[in-house]
Amino acid sequence: MPDFRPARWTVIGLVVLALSTLAPAAGAQRDGWVVEDSVIIDTDAYAPVLSPDGLWVAGVSDLDNRHLCVWKISTGEQRCNEESERVAEASIAWSPDSRTVAFSQNGHQLDSDVFVLDVANNSLTNLTEDEVDDLKARATAGKFVIYDQWPVWSGDGSEILFLRILNPRDDNGQRTIAVGRIVVETGQILRGPEMTTDEPLALVAEAIGVVTPPIWLPDGMAVFALRGGQDITGVWEVDPAGRDFVRIVSDPEIPVGKTPLLTGATPDGAFLSFYWLWDDIAIDDEFVSYGLLDRETGELLPIEIDPPRGAVVAAPPRLSPDGQWVIYGTTEDEQTHQDSTIVIADRETGGTIDIADDVNLQMWESITGIAWTPANQVVVPLDDGRFEVITLADE
């Protein structure tokens, strides 16, 4: 399996809009999906996230400071907020009405809070300010430090769910993992369930312990994956307004200590899509990289990906909004992901459609794959920092 660990680039903010030079691949004319439009945002940034209304892309520019920027797709207008620093790019989350963007900060050595950016007036609000900025400062050494990370919006946009990690400087001390909710209109923080553990929490991606953003499911439950000690690692489920954390019971053949990266859920929330970071697992003597996890039974249902001979998966599969399709990238260049093909596959029939080829994919730090929005758009990060926005039409 290819290595999806982060790479680094120099980022310069320059935005010009141009029509895409990446013509749809020949396979795009087969039954299922066709490319209706393709536009390139000519910038030098990374980690693009499309707004629900399909009008904006949010991402990170200026690698030294990690500022949050938004680009208007129709005009190429760029708005960067220079007060936003150390943005954890995998945490970027649009509100359902596309008016605001939430994010948390990179918290390896510094504190993390949850912020929201108002796109219209480019104003920034810290929703979980705790007056701690530098974990290496003498005043915070040896004390519990609050990491607020991974904001997720409710379906109606009235609340933001986030995870709070109380992490001591002493690695032998206890850690508390809690779920909180922010009432957007008032800023009130609602305390949710918490779990205290002696197990270590890994420094993973851009956060403490939590591998990928939580998923707030239609039934009101939230799920997320933890990485750390044997008793912590795995997929957890929690009622944000309840009291208990529950580790989803997994297929007996799935090692307890393995960390799946969650990439999405089916519309009804019954199945979670994921893949294994760094290592495949063997189920019934077959190596499995990608799959769906049945929340009720913990059973693993493999997602079959069959790249062409000599090719590897360059971007892990993510579900379409209706859960019927998956989108992923393949390439013969495992090291740089040059000359990639963006593929849509029907989960039921296994049939595939190539929607773009000769794509030089960016080895972006968000490792959850290419998101497919309800507006049937995808945004593809290119290795030179530009973003390609592809609009799909259902035949």
What pLDDT score was predicted for residue 238?
94
What pLDDT score was predicted for residue 290?
87
* Nearest CA-CA partner of 194 in 132, 161, 242: 242
Q: Average pLDDT in the 184-213 region?
A: 82
Per the prediction, the chain carries an average pLDDT of 81
Higher pLDDT pick, 107 / 50:
50
Higher pLDDT pick, 190 / 168:
190
pLDDT score of 130 more than 80: no
pTM given for the model: 0.85
pLDDT score of 174 more than 80: no
Max mean pLDDT range (181-195, 238-252, 272-286): 181-195
Please, which pLDDT band fits residue 194 given cuts at 50, 70 and 90? very high
16-210+311-394: CATH class:
mainly beta
Q: Average pLDDT in the 89-106 region?
A: 93
Q: Average pLDDT in the 67-95 region?
A: 92
Task: Domain ranges for the chain, please list them.
Answer: 16-210+311-394
Q: What percent of the chain is predicted at pLDDT more than 90?
A: 46
Please, which pLDDT band fits residue 9 given cuts at 50, 70 and 90? very low
What pLDDT score was predicted for residue 34?
94
SS (H, E, C) the chain: CCCCCCCCCCCCCCCEEEECCCCCCHHHHCCCEEEEEEEEEECCCEEEEECCCCCEEEEEECCCCCEEEEEECCCCCEEEECCCCCECHHHCEECCCCCEEEEEECCCCECECEEEEECCCCEEEECCCCCCCECCCCCCCCCCEEEEEEEEECCCCCEEEEEEEEECCCCCCCEEEEEEEEECCCCCEEEEEEEEECCCECEECCEECECCCCEECCCCCEEEEECECCCCCEEEEECCCCCCEEECCCCCCCCCCCCEEEEEECCCCCEEEEEECCCCEEECCEEECEEEEECCCCCEEECCCCCCCCCEEEEEEEECCCCCEEEEEEECCCCCCCCEEEEEEECCCCCEEEEEEEECECCCCCCCCCCECCCCEEEEEECCCCEEEEEEEEC
What pLDDT score was predicted for residue 20?
34
Q: Average pLDDT in the 85-99 region?
A: 92
CA 28, 32, 37, 43 torsion-angle sign:
negative
Q: Average pLDDT in the 228-232 region?
A: 80
pLDDT score of 247 more than 80: yes
CA distance 38 to 57: 14
- 13-56 pLDDT, tens digit each: 323 333 333 334 433 334 689 999 999 998 989 889 999 999 99
What pLDDT score was predicted for residue 64?
78
Higher pLDDT pick, 232 / 160:
160
pLDDT score of 65 more than 70: yes
What pLDDT score was predicted for residue 206?
60
pLDDT score of 222 more than 90: yes
- 272-290 pLDDT, tens digit each: 998 876 566 655 556 668 8
Q: Average pLDDT in the 287-298 region?
A: 83
pLDDT score of 254 more than 70: no
Q: What percent of the chain is predicted at pLDDT more than 70?
A: 78
Higher pLDDT pick, 111 / 333:
333
What pLDDT score was predicted for residue 15?
31
What pLDDT score was predicted for residue 146?
81
